[in-house]
């Protein structure tokens, strides 16, 4: 077996299941889960219809690079959404359709890391655990940059020593952040690009929450948008990951894309031809329909906006909690340690949240996720409000 498998940590939800093993929940209270970031809003009917109308395409092998129409649709969507120079995001050279961002993040690291020399993969801390697992299995070492209230939940890139950047082959960004919801501003993205040029590493920006934001007139900036703003129309050393899972409530479709530097994506596509991960044709056709429609996305944002506006004022009675810049998570400070909070909240109120330390690593005796919990406002509005009221009751009783 690959010895690097022994370096993998249990997934956060495995830790959560172990934490709650054996507890008895109050039977008179229906369970409300805020722990897993799985969208619960309905999938668009028109997308489901496209799949139903094209089930005969199950008889066709899909190509790894995807349908021309899908790549063209993605190019048109991303060019408009991120204000890119017309023609700069080539459907043939700058876009690779993928089976969701998790698969893409993992496989891209396997394709680009050169483990014949000292290699590190740098990521925010807390972080999406696939960044770490991908690094280990590519033969690289993860390096964690703390994100807490002292730095606005964005890594302090100025504080990173040169020795870290010298071995860095991939730097992961997550904007809007998971779990903080913080959006990285343009000036910081420009600084990161300058570091990538100086030390020759890839900037990989996970932007799967980018379409869930409160202000319709102020969408979050993406890495390619910053590239365009500074005249970097070849997106050198920059790649981004996008998905329909959160944007369109289609986590089961497993559909997204990687876009950016053509020289990186050329090698990545070559890797994928052996990886055996082509998206089924009917899923590609459904994805085209989803990327071409914005009405359902605006409705989706409105539904999340209503939940945040209802829930945050309730929780603020007993917790330190802020509205996120984007995404569907809350990242409140807990009045007791985060594991105790999550376990006892389950036991006393049958409301389930994720301890913040499960999303982080302890470095130099410090874990930036401790004494916070992640709450995913994915349940219906009424359930989210009920959960908030139960949390207030729990905190007051303890």
Helices (H) and strands (E) counted in the chain, each on its own, are: 14, 12
Write the DSSP assignment of 308-348 as a string of letters: HHHHHHHHTTTSB----SSSSEE-PBPSS-HHHHHHHHHHH
For 387, half-sphere exposure in the C-beta direction (CA atoms, 13 angstrom radius) is 28
Q: Are strands 373-376 and 329-330 parallel, antiparallel or unpaired?
A: antiparallel
Residues 175 and 153: their CA atoms lie apart, in Å, by 11
Question: Is 257:240 a contact under the CB 8 Å cutoff?
Answer: no
Tell me the per-residue pLDDT of 160-208, one tens digit each, with 9 for 90 and over: 999 999 999 999 999 999 999 999 999 999 999 999 999 999 999 999 9
Q: Which residues pair with 138 in a beta bridge?
A: none
Give the chain's mean pLDDT: 96
The one-character DSSP state at 200 is T
pTM, 2 dp: 0.96
Q: How far is CA 25 from the centre of its chain?
A: 31
Question: Is 78:89 a contact under the CB 8 Å cutoff?
Answer: yes
Residue 275 pLDDT grade (very low, low, confident, very high; cuts 50, 70, 90): confident
**Cis amide bond preceding 176, omega within 30:** yes
What is the CATH architecture of 61-293? Answer: 3-Layer(aba) Sandwich (3.40)
**Cis amide bond preceding 109, omega within 30:** no
Token pair 């330390």: residue: 357
Question: Is 238:201 a contact under the CB 8 Å cutoff?
Answer: no
Q: Does 37 score more than 90 pLDDT?
A: no
Q: Which residues pair with 290 in a beta bridge?
A: none
Question: Is 255:99 a contact under the CB 8 Å cutoff?
Answer: yes
pLDDT of residue 337: 96
Residue span(s) of the chain under CATH 3.90.1150.10 come to 3-42+296-397
> Would you identify the CATH topology of the domain 3-42+296-397?
3.90.1150
> Which of 212, 226, 224 is closest to 305 using CA atoms?
212
Residues 230 and 187: their CA atoms lie apart, in Å, by 11
Residue 276 pLDDT grade (very low, low, confident, very high; cuts 50, 70, 90): confident
Question: Is 148:343 a contact under the CB 8 Å cutoff?
Answer: no
Residue span(s) of the chain under CATH 3.40.640.10 come to 61-293
Tell me the per-residue pLDDT of 127-170, one tens digit each, with 9 for 90 and over: 999 999 999 999 999 999 999 999 999 999 999 999 999 999 99
């Amino acid at each position: 077996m690959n010895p690097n498998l022994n370096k993998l940590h249990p997934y956060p939800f495995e830790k959560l299941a172990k934490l709650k093993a054996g507890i008895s929940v109050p039977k008179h209270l229906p369970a409300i889960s805020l722990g897993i970031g799985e969208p619960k809003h309905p999938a668009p009917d028109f997308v489901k219809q496209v799949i139903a109308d094209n089930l005969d395409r199950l008889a066709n092998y899909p190509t790894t690079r995807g349908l021309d129409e899908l790549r063209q649709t993605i190019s048109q969507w991303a060019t408009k959404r991120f204000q890119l120079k017309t023609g700069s995001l080539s459907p043939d050279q700058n876009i690779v359709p993928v089976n969701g961002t998790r698969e893409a993040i993992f496989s891209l690291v396997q394709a680009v890391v050169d483990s014949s020399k000292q290699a590190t993969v740098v990521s925010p801390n807390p972080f999406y655990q696939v960044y770490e697992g991908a690094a280990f299995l590519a033969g690289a070492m993860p390096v964690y940059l703390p994100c807490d209230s002292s730095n606005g939940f964005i890594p302090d890139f100025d504080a990173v020593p040169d020795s870290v950047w010298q071995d860095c082959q991939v730097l992961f960004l997550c904007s809007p952040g998971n779990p903080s919801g913080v959006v990285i501003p343009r000036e910081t993205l420009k600084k990161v690009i300058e570091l990538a040029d100086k030390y020759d590493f890839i900037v990989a920006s996970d932007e799967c929450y980018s379409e869930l934001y409160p202000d319709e007139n102020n969408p979050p900036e993406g890495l390619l948008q910053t590239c365009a703003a500074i005249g970097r129309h070849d997106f050198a050393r920059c790649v981004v990951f996008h998905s329909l899972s959160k944007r369109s409530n289609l986590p089961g479709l497993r559909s997204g894309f990687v876009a950016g530097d053509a020289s990186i994506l050329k090698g990545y596509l070559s890797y994928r031809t052996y990886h055996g991960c082509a998206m089924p044709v009917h899923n590609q056709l459904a994805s085209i329909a989803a990327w071409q429609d914005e009405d359902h996305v605006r409705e989706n944002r409105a539904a999340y906006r209503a939940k945040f506006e209802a829930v945050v004022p309730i929780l603020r009675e007993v917790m330190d909690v802020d509205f996120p810049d984007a995404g569907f998570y809350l990242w409140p400070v807990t009045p007791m340690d985060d594991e105790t909070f999550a376990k006892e909240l389950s036991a006393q109120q049958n409301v389930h949240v994720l301890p913040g330390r499960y999303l982080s690593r302890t470095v130099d005796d410090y874990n930036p996720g401790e004494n916070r919990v992640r709450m995913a406002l994915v349940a219906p509005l009424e359930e989210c409000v009920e959960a908030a009221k139960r949390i207030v009751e729990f905190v007051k009783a303890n």
